Amino acid sequence: MTVAPANPSMTLSGETETIAAISTAPGRGGIGIVRVSGPLASSIAAQLVRLRQPLEHARARLADVLDAPGEDQRSDRIDEAVVTFFAGPNSYTAEDLIEIAAHGSPVVLDLLLRRALELGARLAEPGEFTQRAFLAGRLDLTQAEAVRDLIEAQTLTQARQAASQMGGALSRRVAPLKQDLVELIALLEAGIDFAEDDIDVTPQQEIARRIQQLTAPLERLDASFARGRIIHDGLSLAIVGRPNVGKSSLFNRLVERDRAIVTATPGTTRDTVSERIALGGIPLELVDTAGLREAHEEAEKIGIVRSREALADAALVLVVLDATRSPDQEERELLAGVQGRPALVALNKSDLQPGHALPDDFEGLPVVRTSALTGEGISSLRERILALASGGAASELGMLTSLRHHQAVSTALEAIRSADLANRNEIPHEMILLDLYRALWALDSLTGQTTSDDILNLIFSKFCIGK
C-alpha cells in the first residue's frame, strides 16, 4: 500500500517537488512569465530554452524558446525569452527558482508549461509559490496574505496598505506585545516553579501593571479594524429619494460619466443601477435607486421594492431632496427611517433658488447643497461622503484589514481581560496562566506560528495560480 506524504509538496523520498505555473494573467500581452520552483528548476529550464550564456544567480539571460525539449538543443526556435535564475535560499520560495519571460502568447506559454510538466515538474496549486515562501520562513502569514491583497487591490490606498503589510508593518506592531506577554508568562511560571525555593511570587499589583501595558495597545490594534476593513473591502452607498429630485444626475456626477439614464419624466429609473468608484482610496459602490413613491405599474413597483432592499443593505445612505420645495410626508418618513445610520442629505437643484436660506442640519442629518446640473457642491458632497465612510479615522501603520486578523486580536484581548479579572479576584496564578497562554496562541495564529493546516490551506487556496 502506498502512503502519501504528509506534505503534498514532498515526494515519498522526502525531496521537495518541482512546481511550475504561468504567473501572468490569462490572455494575450506583451510579456508572459512561466515560473518553475524546486530542485529540478535549472535542469528543466536548460531543456526548455537554448541559453546564450550560463545561468547565474539574479542575472537575466537571453534565450531561445524551443519547439520541443531535448538535451541536444537542436529543436527549432519559436520565440525569444529572458530567463532569470534565483538560487535557493535567496529566492522568493527559498528554492531554486526560474522565471522565463517570453512574449505573451497563450500558445507559447502553454507550450512552455506543458514541456515543464513533461520534464518532471507538476502544476502548482493556487498560492503554492507564496506558501513555500511562508513555510521556508521568508514571510510570516500576515505578509503572505498581503501578497494576495496587493494583487487584488483596486485603489492606490489598498495597494499602499498591502505593501505596508508585506513589509511587516502588522508583524512589527504585534512583536513587542508578544514579547511582553512571554515575559509575563515566564515571570508567573518561575514563581510557580520555585515557590518552595524562597523566590517571591509576583505581586498582584505587578501583574496588573503588566497586563495594562498589554491591554491598551491591543485595544488600539483591535479598533484599527474599523478603518482597515473599509479600506480592504469598501462600502456601498444607496442614493434614495422621491422621483425627479435628481438622484440619477447626482449618481452620474459622482461616477463622472453618464451611467444612469436621466430624463425630465419622473420614474425613469425602474431598477437599481450600481457603479464602483474609488473615493479617497476607499472602494465605494454607488447604487442609484428607483424613486420612492406610490407606484401603479408592475415594473415600477418591482423597482421600488429593490430600492428599499438596497436602502436596507447599504452601509451609507444619501437622501436626495429637491431644494425648490419643502419635504413632503413621505420624505420626512424616509429621513426618520435613516436616523442612527451613516447618512447625509443632498439638497439638489439649489441653483434654481440662489441665496435661498437652507439649514445645514436637517432632521438631524448633515446637509450638502448641490446642483447636478451645474456641478455646484459636488466636491463638497464627495468630501462629506468620504468623511462619513471613514468615520474621521486616520490611516495608521499595521492596521487590521481582514476578519481573520480581527478575530485573532479580539481573542487575545478577551483572554488578557480575563487574566486581569482573575488577578483582581486573587485567582491562583495557574489559572491566570491559562488565559495568558490563550492570548499568546491567538497572537501566534495571526502571524502563522500556531495556525492549523486547514486554515493555511484555506488562505492560500484564495491566491491565483502562479503566485
Residue 427's identity, in one-letter code, is: I
User: Which residue range(s) make up the domain with 371?
Assistant: 234-390
Check: CB of residue 41 under 8 Å from CB of residue 25.
Answer: no
E strand or H helix at 120, and its extent? none
CATH code of the domain covering residue 383: 3.40.50.300
Whether residue 138 is contained in a domain is answered as: no
Same domain, 249 and 218: no
Provide the number of structural domains found in the chain.
3
Same domain, 253 and 380: yes
pLDDT average, residue stretch 93-112:
93
pLDDT of amino acid 258:
64
- 369-379 pLDDT, tens digit per residue, is 888 888 888 89
Higher pLDDT, 155 or 257: 155
Same domain, 385 and 287: yes
β-bridge partners, 284: 235, 277
Q: What is the DSSP string of 307-344?
A: HHHHHHH-SEEEEEEETTS---HHHHHHHHHTTTSSEE
Same domain, 253 and 340: yes
Q: Look at residues 390, 408, 428 and tell me which one is the last residue of a structural domain.
A: 390
Range with the poorest average pLDDT among 167-171, 299-303, 350-354, 418-422: 299-303
Same domain, 386 and 251: yes
Q: Is 354 exposed, middle or buried (0-12, 13-18, 19+ CB in 10 A)?
A: exposed
Here the cell at position 417 is: 481581560
Same domain, 344 and 244: yes
Whether residue 2 is contained in a domain is answered as: no
Whether residue 12 is contained in a domain is answered as: no
In sign, the C-alpha dihedral spanning 277, 281, 284, 286 is: negative
pLDDT average, residue stretch 279-304:
69
pLDDT > 90: percent of the chain: 30
| Nearest by Cα to 348 from 234, 259, 262, 235 | 262
**Cell 421594492, residue located:** 305
Whether residue 467 is contained in a domain is answered as: no
Range with the poorest average pLDDT among 109-123, 168-182, 302-316: 302-316
- The vertex-353 CA angle with 351 and 357, nearest 5°, equals 110
User: Is the per-residue pLDDT at 274 higher than 70?
Assistant: yes
Same domain, 239 and 385: yes
Whether residue 296 is contained in a domain is answered as: yes
SS3 annotation, 127-151: CHHHHHHHHCCCCCHHHHHHHHHHH
- 196-239 pLDDT, tens digit per residue, is 554 557 788 999 999 999 999 999 999 989 888 888 888 888 88
Range with the poorest average pLDDT among 184-188, 255-259, 312-316, 412-416: 255-259
pLDDT of amino acid 6:
38
pTM of the model: 0.74
* CA dist., res. 129 & res. 113, Å (int): 15
Whether residue 34 is contained in a domain is answered as: yes
pLDDT of amino acid 454:
64
Here the cell at position 365 is: 442629518
Q: Look at residues 360, 390, 420 and tell me which one is the last residue of a structural domain.
A: 390
Here the cell at position 458 is: 484555506
Higher pLDDT, 15 or 249: 249
Whether residue 338 is contained in a domain is answered as: yes
Beta-strand relationship, 19-22 and 122-123 = parallel
Whether residue 229 is contained in a domain is answered as: no
pLDDT of amino acid 262:
45
Beta-strand relationship, 235-240 and 122-123 = unpaired
3-state secondary structure at position 262: coil
pLDDT > 70: percent of the chain: 82
pLDDT of amino acid 12:
38
Model confidence at 33, in pLDDT bands (50, 70, 90)? very high
Same domain, 54 and 92: yes
Check: CB of residue 300 under 8 Å from CB of residue 270.
Answer: yes
Q: Whole-number mean pLDDT of the chain?
A: 82
Same domain, 450 and 385: no
Same domain, 441 and 407: yes
pLDDT of amino acid 69:
57
CATH code of the domain covering residue 457: 1.20.120.430
Same domain, 177 and 293: no
Same domain, 276 and 253: yes
Check: CB of residue 391 under 8 Å from CB of residue 367.
Answer: no
Q: Look at residues 350, 367, 390 and tell me which one is the last residue of a structural domain.
A: 390
- 43-87 pLDDT, tens digit per residue, is 999 888 989 999 989 999 999 987 765 545 556 788 999 999 999
pLDDT of amino acid 337:
82
